[in-house]
Chain A
Amino acid sequence: MWTSIKHFEKPASLEEAYTLIVPGKKVPFSGGSYLTAEQSGEIDTLIAIRHLLDDRIKMNGKILTIGTGATLQSLVKYDWSRSPLRLAECACLSCPSRNIRNQRTLGGEIGRQRTNSELFVHLKALDVNLEVIGASSQTMSIREWDGQGIINALRIDMTAVKKTFCQRFALIPSAPAVVIVEGVLNKQRLDVVVGGAASVLSLSSITDMGFPEETLAQVAAQAAVRFKTDQYGSRAYKEHLIRTGLARIVAEC
């Protein structure tokens, strides 16, 4: 029962779908697992886009392209054995229920911009490119995306990814992580994204590959500002977890 829904639009193209969006009132609907769980009373129109989205995972040379209509479960099933990416693992951690993974799309997961989504944090750390349908179609870094428009696909330049790391701290495995520390190592630097029970994600690049202690402490302190004291512990405890996660990632580097 979602009592506020009065209209259901089925546009012929993503461009048309974009023109129909009125934020918070008329919204795109692909998998719908977030929207139907929340059932916001402000939303009166659903704009169906699932039929317009590519759901394929393709490797073209060194460029990986994933259609945002791909479900999280399809990421789990894909063979990533020769890839440093951890999309399958992150999809499971972000969404422990297989039933919901079968429904939830990659685009929906990115669009939600959830700070405690391991998948979103991973993609941020990878600095993937998004193909965004908006006032004009354009490709941009996920780090620059402002949340506007409809994401059609994402691309990852595999030559830029040497190794990826994740340190995740949760009370129990199926619970949302209190702190997520994601690292992506390439030739010149270690990109670190910190998420979890944070208000926004924190992004840092460590270029001194000797990983000095003071640099790690600084990264942790900056990231910890995004956390508050709550039922999982004090802000200082979160900072400690971030610092621990960084130390473990550095040890793996």
Chain B
Amino acid sequence: MKYIGKKTHRLDGFALSRGRPVFTDDLHLPHMLYLKVLRSPHAHARIKSIDTTAAANIDGIVSILTWKDFPRHYFTSAGQGYPEPSPRDMLILDQTVRFVGDRVAVIAAESLEIAQAALERIQVEYELLPAILDPKASIANPTVIHPETGPVDIYAADRNIAAYFQSELGDVDRGFKESALILEGEYSTPYVQQAHLEPHITLTWLDANGRLVIRSSTQVPFHVRRIVSELLVIPVGQIQVIKPRIGGGFGGKQEILNEELCAAVTLKTGRPARIEMTREEEFYAARSRHPEIIKLKIGVDAEGLFRAVDLNILENCGAYAPHALTVMSVTAQKALSLYRCPNIRVEAQAVYTNLPIAGAYRGYGTPQGIFALEVLMDEIANELNIDPIDLRLRNCQEVGDEIPIAKVLGEGSEGFPIVLHSTGLKDCLEEGRRSVQWQEARQEVKTGPIRRGIGVAAAGHGTGIPGIDMGSAFLKMNEDASFNLLVGATDLGTGSDTALAQIAAEVLEVPVEKIVVYSSDTDFTPFDTGAYASSTTYISGGAVKKAAEKVKEQIFSQGKKLLGVDQAVIRDGFVEADSGERISYAEICTRSMYTDDQMQIMATASHMSYDSPPPFNATFAEVSVDTETGLVQVERIVSVTDAGQIINPPMAEGQVEGAIPQALGMALCEHMIFDEQGAPINTDFTGYHIYTAADMPEIVVKFHEGHEPTGPYGAKAVAEIPISAPAPAVVNAIYNACGVRIRKLPIQPEDILRGLAQLS
């Protein structure tokens, strides 16, 4: 292949590196209004009264909207396909506030300063309600967080259960009876934040024809259009959503978070409007990873082969439940499909609390489940005295294996049967074993206060949502043999525009520079479900490949007509007859446009899939543990990934290198914390510690050379797979270093000291 698997300059690199005005905030419109949101200081309260008089009297205040200004239409902020599988439990503005940071009012002013000043003048009288801050205390609690009759699809509102499912395949009780060893444990993961560089920001205005234009930093422009249309009762055709360059999303922007508020102000005032969340708001009023408490029980035979797995998930979705059902269904599906097991059972419930709303975050439930699974795997290996890598190798899925849980757990409903067409997990484990010199590292003598250790964890993910995700592409040819590729796919900083251009270039046999990509504008690009679920290369790339093949066929056909031959070949940008006579792409297009058998060479294509081929990853962590303080330092991470055919190696490496610090943060230092009233404590980067360049261990990124037959040129996903295994790998490395087993994230140094004390 000429362009696939090769290093290619990013299409947006030139503009980004020169600071060109490519982001949402780079557009400033005349007479623009600035919006600020008044947020609840209480975790649970009913608004008895709001007096906006004093605020409205400030010069420069144009509009103040409260719950009284919106109809009680319940929706979900989750940017998911229609019909959304998340409960519709949210109003644009509500008379009840359910977490510190919930929206109370929105102010539109001539300047941000004026809007800020007005925030302090709004008088709100609250009736305080009991707050639930502990997910374990939510179900049997007399306080009901959503007692109203309006919400739709809440599983059991009276018990604060937002979503629930259970399933059993095989005979789990019998499987445990047949097991030689049964181990179980409780594992928990924290609230963590996506911490994307660019905050949520939206601009809205009316175009010359009075249509609503929304320019937003979003991963899901088409869902934004659909949901805003529904909420503000205007036709989809009257809305244009534009997605400029994005400064990171990681799932946090798979949400309709501000667009409807901004649009409501524009529709009311007729003026452009702008809303941007502060970093503090990002922490408590945007979205985060769902904290989960997982009880996992595994039975194995004497050889370590799985006989039965019993998984119980308690998910804290916060005050509302976008993505609640689907995140925990991904937790279950990925944890229950990594290894072969004839008997599996799962029960999962997502509960409401009066804490910030969780949502989509890279990995989408997988890191939580993989953490539990892979730590327990290490415990089993230790108990059976089997090498942890060997234990995994014995249980790995093979090509041709069915993943039965995939049929049971789909996107909020029954899924589709999935058969593995490719898996490189065994190769990833073996490659990592060689790379880290596993045996020597494991058996290193542990002496002195600083103990070194090594651990491994494996992970699997998916590639798009089967039967749901759909992408489409439009490709047209220009006289100079360049091509306009219009895609609804949303490049959120990943470089997906470049990867899609490479796929088109490979089909058309033209340099990547000849592909001009325009993406994510609901007026001008065809539909795409959006950038989530690691779907873009596989789903949108599939659409691009189909469209390019159609265009290539047209070029070939036109070329043969112009040459007057029936037989020819395409070579180096020419259609060439057997005689050696040839005609260039450029001439074919020009003559097709202006003189001969006139037509625009162009094509559209859509692509969806009932497959969701799992990419795999094996991560090896080397740590040092200070046994006098309990502090852990990650020395090296070796990450080996099977993502099928890699389309663009440097960009794929970037995905892995970006996922690892997020994973290490969840393992060691990231944790949103709240006081006894549910107010957030650490809402900046001084109190909330993310990995920075100064903290990074050595990272070694490797890819297994695989080929997924259902993917474009053999590609599978790479965006989310590297984030799940580092945390359990670190935990397992700590055990290897000092014998202390951690089951709760983030790892507390004091817990390590306690563990050491117990050992001694």
Contact = CB atoms under 8 A, between A and B. Distances in A.
A169 B753 CA distance: 14
Nearest to A3: B113
Contacts of B126: none
Contact of B689 (A1, A169, A175): A175
A89 to B, nearest CB: 13
Interface string A200-243: 00000000000000000000000000000001111001001100
B631 A96 contact: no
B750 A1 contact: no
B692 interface: yes
Interface residues of B, number: 25
B695 A237 contact: no
A171 B753 contact: no
B427 to A, nearest CB: 32
Most buried by B among A96, A172, A173: A172
Contacts of A234: 750
A252 to B, nearest CB: 14
B105 to A, nearest CB: 18
Contacts of A244: 628-629
B694 A174 contact: yes
A125 to B, nearest CB: 21
B689 A171 contact: yes
A9 B748 CA distance: 48
Nearest to B672: A231
A33 B668 CA distance: 28
A81 to B, nearest CB: 22
Q: Label chain A's interface by main secondary structure.
A: loop
B673 interface: yes
Contacts of A170: 631
Nearest to B682: A231
B694 A96 contact: yes
B415 interface: no
Contacts of B671: 231
A245 B281 CA distance: 37
Contact of B695 (A1, A174, A232): A174
A174 B113 contact: no
A172 B730 CA distance: 14
Interface in B686-702: 686, 689, 691-692, 694-695
Contacts of B695: 172-174
Nearest to A238: B750
B386 interface: no
Q: Label chain B's interface by main secondary structure.
A: loop
A41 B668 CA distance: 35
A169 B694 contact: no
Interface string A158-173: 0000000000011111
A172 B629 contact: no
A3 B689 CA distance: 29
Interface string B646-668: 00000000000000000000001
Contacts, number: 51
B749 A233 contact: yes
B669 A171 contact: yes
Interface string B729-760: 00000000000000000001110010000000
Interface residues of A, number: 20
A176 interface: yes
B117 interface: yes
Contacts of A41: 120
A174 B692 contact: yes
B157 to A, nearest CB: 32
A96 B693 CA distance: 10
Nearest to B665: A172
B116 A3 contact: yes
Contacts of A171: 631, 668-669, 689, 749
B689 A172 contact: yes
B570 interface: no
A173 B694 contact: yes
Interface in A1-40: 1, 3
Contacts of A240: 629, 753
Contacts of A172: 668-669, 689, 691, 695
Nearest to A243: B628
A233 B631 CA distance: 12
B692 A96 contact: yes
Contacts of A237: 630, 749-750, 753
Contacts of B50: none
Contacts of B749: 171, 232-233, 237
A232 B682 CA distance: 12
A1 B628 CA distance: 46
Interface in B109-150: 112-113, 116-117, 120
Most buried by B among A174, A176, A232: A174
Contacts of A169: 629, 631
Contact of A241 (B113, B117, B629, B691): B629
Contacts of A173: 694-695
Interface string A68-84: 00000000000000000
Given A41-B120, A233-B750, 13 more contacts: A1-B113, A3-B117, A96-B694, A169-B631, A172-B668, A174-B691, A175-B669, A176-B686, A231-B673, A231-B681, A237-B749, A237-B753, A240-B753
Interface of A: 1, 3, 41, 96, 169-176, 231-234, 237, 240-241, 244
Interface of B: 112-113, 116-117, 120, 628-631, 668-669, 671, 673, 681-682, 686, 689, 691-692, 694-695, 748-750, 753
15 contacts: A1-B113, A41-B120, A96-B694, A169-B631, A170-B631, A171-B668, A171-B669, A171-B749, A172-B695, A173-B694, A174-B692, A174-B695, A233-B750, A237-B630, A244-B629
| Among all A-B residue pairs, the 7 with the closest Cβ atoms | A233-B750, A3-B113, A175-B689, A171-B669, A172-B695, A237-B750, A174-B692
